[in-house]
């Protein structure tokens, strides 16, 4: 049950990451103006932070399970 919950949370986080990445790409490609480009960069930065935290959480869970 815990494994299923962890899998669902991981999929939810990755799905959110994909949505943020697509949104950032769309903003960067189809909008004009420096402010919007800065927003797109900020969104991409948040997406990278979410990805890094997800990877760290997976590594933590794998190491914890290996003990």
Domain boundary assignment for the chain: 2-66
Rounded-to-integer distance, Cα 37 and Cα 26, Å: 10
Q: What is the pLDDT of residues 3-57, one digit of tens each?
A: 877 777 777 777 777 777 777 777 767 665 555 666 777 777 777 777 777 887 7
Say what the pLDDT of residue 5 is: 74
């Amino acid at each position: 049950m815990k494994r299923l919950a962890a899998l669902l949370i991981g999929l939810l986080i990755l799905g959110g990451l994909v949505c943020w990445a697509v949104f950032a790409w769309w903003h960067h490609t189809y909008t004009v103006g420096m402010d919007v480009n800065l927003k797109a960069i900020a969104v991409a930065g948040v997406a990278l932070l979410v990805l890094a935290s997800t990877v760290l959480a997976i590594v933590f869970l794998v190491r914890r399970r290996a003990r």
